[in-house]
Structure 1
Amino acid sequence: MGSLSVTTGALLQCSFGLAPTTLNILPMSRVTIEGRPAATIADMAPMVNIAPFGMCSSIANPTVAAATAAALGVLTPMPCVPAIAGSWIPTAPRTAIGGKPALVAGSTCVCSFGGVITITMPGALRTTAG
């Protein structure tokens, strides 16, 4: 049995973000799951598919590093601007949406500032992909 499919509205969390956000899928493939656009591994564009996670607390983020240095070493979170470093993994390689592997619950992607972005609620409640 496969994992639950991911759709627009799925909840995401970054390990360095202070707030969850939702995944936004543009309906270009015209494939819907449970009435919402289905996600693929290509749906990882910052500010388009992945919105900010509130404040970022990663010292690898240049704005956090600068603010922390200005505060004499006291960690100072700054606004999050996701910087996605690669596509989502793992996926459902046998299920294609618009020619790309489907995104499923349990997939993760990484931010260039060291955060790991996880899917905390996939959006689809009944539909799985293999």
Structure 2
Amino acid sequence: IVSSANILGVLDFYKTVYRDEQLGEARTQRLVSGRNRSFTDFQRGKSAILIESNWFYYTAIDPQGDFPIADRDAVVGWAKMPARAPGGGVRAQDFVSVSGGNSFVLNPHSKHPREAWSLLAFMNSAPALRNYQEYNEHLCVRD
């Protein structure tokens, strides 16, 4: 089904983490509420590491967030996901994105697909994303 070497590499990475080395909580990942459970486990100190996009730090575990950690800035650190090899990321960066940023989709039955596409293109343009950062602190997907 999949022929892309990069996608196969990602799938092999998940196989290593969850099956071969059992480093991740595979059962939690299969639960309908698994994501929330993993957030709660992290909040309560049951998980040492959580690989998630940076919104988790800025939003979910914000002291006023859904999974608050009152002293978050003092006790929680975060790091960019390292690339498989130095310089192996986009534009020869040493890191890669875990999630790639926000996801937007177009309804295939839209009456105005060109206008919808234009809106999404604008919303994801470098100027729009940089402006958005002024209101919602996070790492920009264009950085």
TM-score (normalised: structure 1): 0.24
Which structure shows the higher strand fraction?
Answer: 1
Q: Which structure has the larger Rg?
A: 2
- Name which structure has the greater RCO, CA cutoff 8 Å, separation 6+: 1
TM-score (normalised: structure 2): 0.22
